A and B are shown apart, each in its own frame.
Chain A
């Protein structure tokens, strides 16, 4: 794993989301709590809705286009046979660290 600092937790509103552009496409960073962030694909497998624009509730997000609900722990769509990719992310002293390997960035070496 190669952890990349992509910003401060307060750059994302509580129960909101922002996107990060990566080689695997746009990744949504979802702030579900004061100090809790999930990273998952920004694209809904149904019609490609931008998940980072959805309403974040509990540890879930609802797609803004047709209300599919995704569990951010697993990426599974609730009540649908579909899932989105999830990526390792962690918080260190308020900084958001995303696993660069998982989102397609080679480590510097």
Chain B
């Protein structure tokens, strides 16, 4: 079973380390080490020949952790050879569900890339099974026939998914949910597909939610009366069911599968014993796992449900150890990551000749489905002498239940608000006497002792032995000791203690501990996330808005777990932009989520007055327009009239309540908003081109006017300035604009990514095209690509630095269909936004005036 939790792994390789890259080079990896490494070490000190040989079977999370402990504690202890049946190294299997749902990519969940194996001196045989083991001669033989001797052998063969032997279970299109191949099969499903998932446990629900996030029509068939019956009681199961159904998943509980129906050797439907037929393109069985013991059994190891191990992780055969999901310890088998990591630590110590003993501990569970916040720990079955404390808040969808036996907490189930989960879990594990805080217990640690609800004081109040990192079993004092010992940021705490280095759910707690312990010396790393309302980055939010089809701000706040009721001044403008850029027809711009300038359609000045800049297409004006501007300036007592750098005229110092009236006057002369205030198209600056200039090669003014008329009114991540120069003398300064066009005899050179602000940047050439029509289409396409992909408040040059010019060229130069599609999407959005905001607001001046004037009433 994939253990539960959320995570960004700290020890993942750089993003370039894609899985297919290292699976392809696995052979090279196995060929390099022995000679290269031994010469390296002989320079140091050790006699390489004297090193013992360790062979590891299986590159999973447990054995991977053993290797980490071993190579960190004593890199010279063993010559390590690693075999893995999967054609790749160790990745964080827990995180396949976020990969499935699109919240993470595979390369983000790789734990050990080939750099790590090379650096740690591990010889790798990936995609190569072990065929036979001779524990007397102490050799293993791989399926390629290679025989290797060992001093110590470690089993990490993991588990196999259990397949219910229903008729038809061997049809094509029936899969388990276990590895990357399964995940990829599910990721190939889309809105036109139907999938049936058998199993309403952790794994089945994560699979279902992941596919539903991709628009797949998913039905979950669960044999029990409510979902996740091993972890949840009925009420929490109901809430979970409701929120999964809200995601469009069909859930059938108490449903017995009878047969998988096929056509042409492929599964086409699941038949239930009540006769219901559920059509499907793919059937996923997620009903549990079985320890993978075949090889161990063949080698003569004592095997029950799993490979028998003692407290030192030693099997029944000398010099053979086992860890992970393949083992059975004291009658128990394991599926969650925390005990596997405990085992790994013990196995490493045993291999190093140190004393250590594995102790089973109670476990807590979290489900990794965005928007379904649940937590369960301990035992919550009803029994005599057990009492419940229940808290419900139906409007928020919150349910909490504590089970108490003889003044001790024995179980906790929470849904909707799980912030106090770890605290309750600590009380369960420690058997703390809760009689004194019983009245307020359900409100969590912040209420004990009457202190106000402040996350930092709650963390400060946690006792030293409380467990912070459930995956790695790290308690508070271990972390605070590490901080005192010089680990003053998250990365250092992860490196020294492993806390928050697996599923990442406790990252916030660890950061709060850093802040409590270090005070002002610790800078909360809020920079990466959008703002304090969420831990997600801009990139995450953009991706999730698209993949989960979130079409309102409320949906974003709710589904992405915003911690504030309706955002803040940082995230609201960003989310508003992302929504209107991605869903131009469905989402309506929210003026209350815009900065004052974009809400007022004028630039606020330091004295609270505004500036008004009418549009002058391509910088061209005429006497009528100029007269209208002059009249307006006089009529509204405009103190300053200035010519801007964008070839137009700025009226500075207009009072807020006059805005609708000055706009109406300007509208009458045909002048519209110049959007001099917006994160959107500002101006298209031009030179006079072939109209007048003796050097001009094309009609640069005409093209500038056309571009401005195509693009005006569009919202973009940051301001967007264009220019068109008629010849390479570049009088319109096109090469320091966001998008610049330089006309040449043979056509139009379009370059992007310029800036002349805090940073001064010269544009980079995107493409040269022969015709004006193509130039306009390229500009529209690149603008749309920028609108769809960039982080809010990144200008094109910053976006370009992230995606690379090659990518932009692929999108708008090489792939003509894509260029056209981008331009069409831009045009679709423009069908909504290409209009004058001044004209609309001039019709209704009331909101610009005070709501009431009590000065006048008082004077009566």
Contacts and interface: CB of A to CB of B under 8 A. Distances in A.
Contact of B858 (A6, A12, A54, A106): A106
A100 B604 contact: no
Given A54-B596, A65-B604, A21 B566 contact: no
A105 B856 CA distance: 10
Interface in B94-130: none
A90 interface: no
Interface stretch (B71-79, B382-390, B454-462, B567-575): B567-575
Contacts of B858: 23, 104-106
Contacts of B606: 47, 65
A6 B568 contact: no
A55 B592 contact: yes
B600 interface: yes
Interface string A71-88: 000000000000000000
Given A15-B592, A22-B855, A57 B850 contact: no
A64 B596 contact: yes
B852 A69 contact: no
Given A13-B591, A49-B608, A55-B593, A22 B854 contact: yes
Contact of A50 (B564, B593, B608): B608
Given A13-B592, A18-B847, A64-B604, A54 B569 contact: yes
A55 B656 CA distance: 17
A15 B566 contact: yes
Interface string A1-21: 000101100011111101111
A62 B855 contact: no
B521 interface: no
Interface in B697-732: none
B364 to A, nearest CB: 31
Contacts of A58: 564-566, 568
A82 B220 CA distance: 56
A53 B600 contact: yes
A47 B858 CA distance: 29
Nearest to A48: B608
- Size category of the A interface is 35 or more
Contacts of B834: none
Nearest to B858: A105
Contacts of B853: 20-21
Given A53-B600, A55-B593, A64-B595, A20 B568 contact: no
A14 B554 CA distance: 13
A103 interface: yes
Nearest to A63: B569
Interface string B830-860: 0000000000000000010011111111100
Given A53-B600, A53-B604, A104-B858, A12 B851 contact: yes
Interface in B564-590: 564-569, 572-573
Nearest to A27: B854
B820 interface: no
Given A55-B595, A64-B595, A65-B604, A6 B566 contact: no
Contact of B592 (A11, A21, A49, A56): A56
B599 interface: yes
A26 B858 CA distance: 14
A49 B852 CA distance: 20
A58 B566 CA distance: 6
Given A16-B592, A47-B606, A57-B566, A105 B572 contact: no
Contacts of A57: 564-569, 572
A34 to B, nearest CB: 12
B851 A20 contact: yes
Contact of A100 (B565, B656, B854): B854
Contacts of B608: 48-50
Nearest to B604: A64
A54 B572 CA distance: 12
B854 A29 contact: no
Contacts of A105: 854, 857-858
A18 B850 contact: yes
Given A55-B595, A62-B568, A69-B569, A6 B851 contact: yes
A76 to B, nearest CB: 15
B564 A29 contact: no
Nearest to B595: A64
A106 B858 CA distance: 7
Contacts of A62: 568-569
A13 B591 CA distance: 9
Contacts of A15: 566, 592-593
A7 B851 contact: yes
Contacts of A55: 568-569, 572-573, 592-595
Contacts of B851: 6-7, 11-12, 18-20, 29
Contacts of A67: 569
Nearest to B857: A105
A52 to B, nearest CB: 9
Nearest to A19: B850
Contact of B850 (A16, A21, A98, A106): A21
A103 B656 CA distance: 23
A103 B854 contact: yes
Contacts of B607: 48
Contacts of B594: 55
A49 to B, nearest CB: 7
Contacts of B599: 53
A53 to B, nearest CB: 4
A16 to B, nearest CB: 5
Contact of A26 (B566, B569, B592, B850): B850
A60 B565 CA distance: 11
A21 B565 CA distance: 30
Contacts of B566: 15, 57-58
A21 B596 contact: no
Nearest to A56: B592
Nearest to A13: B592
A4 B591 CA distance: 29
Contacts of A48: 607-608
A57 B592 CA distance: 9
A56 B596 CA distance: 11
Contacts of B656: 50
A103 B564 CA distance: 31
Contacts of B596: 50, 53-54, 64
Given A15-B566, A55-B593, A23 B855 contact: yes
Contacts of A7: 851-852
A21 to B, nearest CB: 4
Between B591, B604, B606, B608, the greatest number of chain A beta carbons within 10 A of the residue's beta carbon is seen for B608
7 contacts: A16-B592, A50-B596, A53-B596, A53-B600, A55-B569, A58-B566, A105-B858
Given A6-B852, A65-B606, 5 more contacts: A19-B851, A20-B850, A55-B572, A55-B595, A57-B565
Interface of B: 564-569, 572-573, 591-596, 599-600, 604, 606-608, 656, 847, 850-858
The 4 closest A-B pairs by CB, nearest first: A62-B569, A64-B596, A18-B851, A55-B569
